[in-house]
Structure 1
Amino acid sequence: MFTTRPELVGTHGMVASTHWLASAVGQSVLEAGGNAFDAAAAAGFTLQVVEPHLNGPGGDAPIIGHRAADGHTFVVAGQGTAPAAATIEAYTDQGLDVVPGTGHLAAVVPGAFGAWLDLLARYGTLPLADVLSPAIGYARDGYPLIPTAVRTIRTVERLFAEHWPTSAEVYLPGGRVPEPGARFRNPALADTYARVLTEAQAAGTDRLTQIEAARRAFYEGFVAEAMASFVRTPVLDSSGSAHAGLLTADDLAAWRVAEEPTVAVDFAGVQVHKTAAWGQGPVLLQQLRMLEALGVADADLGSAELVHTAVEVTNLAFADREAWYGDPAGAEVPLEALLSRSYAAERARLVGADAADGVRPGSPDGRAPRLAALFGSPAAGPDRAPVWPGRYEDAAGGPALGTGEPTRGPEPAGAPTGPAAVDGPALDVRPSGETRGDTCHVDVVDRWGNLVSATPSGGWLQSSPVVPGLGFGLPTRAQMFWLEPGLPSSLAPGRRPRTTLSPGLVLRDGGGFAFGTPGGDQQDQWTIPFLLHHLLGGLDLQAAIDAPGWHSTHVPSSFHPRTSTRHGIEAESRLGAGVLAELARRGHAVRDAGPWSLGRVSAAGVRPDGLLHAAANPRGMQGYAAGR
Structure 2
Amino acid sequence: MFTTRPTLQGTFGMVSSTHWLASQTAMAVLEEGGNAYDAAVAAAFVLHVTEPHLNGPAGDVPIILAPAGGQVRVLCGQGPAPAGATIGHYTSLGLDVVPGTGPLAAVVPGAFDAWMVLLRDHGTRRPAEVLRYAIGYAAHGHPAVEQIGRTVERVRELFENEWTASAEVYLPGGRAPGAGALLRNPALAATWRRLLAESEAAGPDRETQIEAARRVWREGFIGEALTAHAARPAMDSSGRRHASPLAGDDLTGWSAGYEDPVTFDWRGWTVCKPGPWSQGPVLLQQLALLDDGFGADDLNSPDGLHTLLEISKLAMADREAWYGDAEPGTVPLDTLLSASYNASRRTLVGPAASPELRPGSPGGRTPRLSAHALAAASGALPEDPAGAGAGEPTVDRSGETRGDTCHLDIVDRWGNMISATPSGGWLQSSPVVPELGFPLGTRLQMTWLEPGLPASLVPGRRPRTTLSPSLALRGGEPVLAFGTPGGDQQDQWQTHFFLAAALRPAVRGGPDLQGAIDAPGWHQDSFPSSFYPRGMRPGSVTVESRVGEETVAALRRRGHDVTVGGAWTEGRLCAVARDPETGVLSAAANPRGMQGYAVGR
Q: Normalising to structure 1: TM-score of the pair?
A: 0.92
Q: What one-letter code is carried by the residue in structure 1 that aligns with 2:33? A: G
Per-residue displacement from partner, 1:245-280 (whole Å, max 9, x unpaired)?
A: 100011001111111000010112111100000001
CA distance in 1, matches of 2:426, 2:90: 22
Contact 2:278 2:465 (8 Å CA) reproduced: yes
SS of residue matched to 1:376: helix
Contact 1:234 1:243 (8 Å CA) reproduced: yes
1:532 aligned onto 2:499:
yes
Q: Which residue of structure 2 aligns with residue 622 of structure 1?
A: 595
CA distance in 1, matches of 2:400, 2:266: 41
Q: Which residue of structure 2 aligns with residue 314 of structure 1?
A: 312
Residue 598 of structure 1: how far off its partner (Å):
0.3
1:523 aligned onto 2:522:
no
Q: Which residue of structure 1 aligns with residue 271 of structure 2?
A: 272
Q: What one-letter code is carried by the residue in structure 2 that aligns with 1:269? A: G
Structure 1: gaps spanning 5 or more residues: 378-387, 399-405, 409-422
Contact 1:329 1:495 (8 Å CA) reproduced: no
The change in CA–CA distance for 1:259 and 1:437 in structure 2 (over 3 A counts) is same
Contact 1:158 1:433 (8 Å CA) reproduced: no
1:455 aligned onto 2:443:
no
1:591 aligned onto 2:591:
no
Residue 171 of structure 1: how far off its partner (Å):
0.8
Q: CA RMSD in A?
A: 1.8
Residue 570 of structure 1: how far off its partner (Å):
0.6
Which 4+ runs in 1 deviate beyond 6 A? Answer: 427-430
1:513 aligned onto 2:480:
yes
Q: Which residue of structure 2 aligns with residue 59 of structure 1?
A: 59
CA distance in 1, matches of 2:564, 2:174: 39
Please say which of residues 585-594 and 510-519 is displaced more in the overlay: 510-519
The change in CA–CA distance for 1:334 and 1:238 in structure 2 (over 3 A counts) is same
Q: Which residue of structure 1 aligns with residue 233 of structure 2?
A: 234
Matches within 5 A, 1:15-414: 15-70=15-70, 72-291=71-290, 293=291, 295-297=293-295, 299-329=297-327, 332-376=330-374, 389-391=377-379, 396-397=384-385, 407-408=388-389
Contact 2:403 2:486 (8 Å CA) reproduced: no
CA distance in 1, matches of 2:527, 2:26: 35
CA distance in 1, matches of 2:382, 2:568: 24
Per-residue displacement from partner, 1:207-265 (whole Å, max 9, x unpaired)?
A: 11110000000011110000111111111111101111100011001111111000010
Q: What one-letter code is carried by the residue in structure 2 that aligns with 1:54? A: L
1:600 aligned onto 2:572:
yes
Contact 1:63 1:503 (8 Å CA) reproduced: yes
Contact 2:230 2:245 (8 Å CA) reproduced: yes
Q: Which residue of structure 2 aligns with residue 443 of structure 1?
A: 409
Please say which of residues 331-340 and 27-36 is displaced more in the overlay: 331-340
Contact 2:15 2:600 (8 Å CA) reproduced: yes
Contact 2:58 2:441 (8 Å CA) reproduced: yes
The change in CA–CA distance for 1:28 and 1:40 in structure 2 (over 3 A counts) is same
Residue 564 of structure 1: how far off its partner (Å):
1.9
Contact 2:80 2:461 (8 Å CA) reproduced: yes
CA distance in 2, matches of 1:600, 1:275: 20
Residue 199 of structure 1: how far off its partner (Å):
1.0
CA distance in 1, matches of 2:258, 2:246: 23
Per-residue displacement from partner, 1:309-351 (whole Å, max 9, x unpaired)?
A: 0000000000000000000457711111111121111111111
Q: What one-letter code is carried by the residue in structure 2 that aligns with 1:480? A: M
Q: Which residue of structure 2 aligns with residue 481 of structure 1?
A: 447
Per-residue displacement from partner, 1:526-548 (whole Å, max 9, x unpaired)?
A: 11221111101225000110011
CA distance in 2, matches of 1:492, 1:394: 27
Among 491, 496, 508, which residue is 2:462 paired with? 496
Contact 1:359 1:390 (8 Å CA) reproduced: no
The change in CA–CA distance for 1:309 and 1:148 in structure 2 (over 3 A counts) is same
Please say which of residues 525-534 and 327-336 is displaced more in the overlay: 327-336
Q: What one-letter code is carried by the residue in structure 1 that aligns with 2:48? A: Q
Q: What one-letter code is carried by the residue in structure 2 that aligns with 1:26? A: A
Residue 152 of structure 1: how far off its partner (Å):
0.4
Contact 1:63 1:455 (8 Å CA) reproduced: yes
Per-residue displacement from partner, 1:542-573 (whole Å, max 9, x unpaired)?
A: 01100111111222211122222221111111
Contact 2:237 2:398 (8 Å CA) reproduced: no
Per-residue displacement from partner, 1:174-224 (whole Å, max 9, x unpaired)?
A: 122122210010000001111111111111111111100000000111100
CA distance in 2, matches of 1:431, 1:111: 27
Q: What one-letter code is carried by the residue in structure 1 that aligns with 2:504? A: G
Q: Normalising to structure 2: TM-score of the pair?
A: 0.96
Contact 2:98 2:532 (8 Å CA) reproduced: no
Between the aligned residues of both structures, percent identity stands at 58
Q: What one-letter code is carried by the residue in structure 1 that aligns with 2:119? A: L
Please say which of residues 427-436 and 5-14 is displaced more in the overlay: 427-436
Contact 1:324 1:369 (8 Å CA) reproduced: yes
SS of residue matched to 1:562: coil
CA distance in 1, matches of 2:395, 2:203: 49
SS of residue matched to 1:14: strand
CA distance in 2, matches of 1:117, 1:154: 34
CA distance in 2, matches of 1:16, 1:327: 30
Please say which of residues 352-361 and 105-114 is displaced more in the overlay: 352-361
CA distance in 2, matches of 1:394, 1:530: 31
How many residues end up aligned between the 2 structures?
A: 594
Please say which of residues 294-303 and 251-260 is displaced more in the overlay: 294-303
CA distance in 2, matches of 1:367, 1:85: 32
Q: What one-letter code is carried by the residue in structure 1 that aligns with 2:143? A: P
CA distance in 2, matches of 1:221, 1:434: 31
The change in CA–CA distance for 1:390 and 1:452 in structure 2 (over 3 A counts) is farther
CA distance in 2, matches of 1:294, 1:309: 13
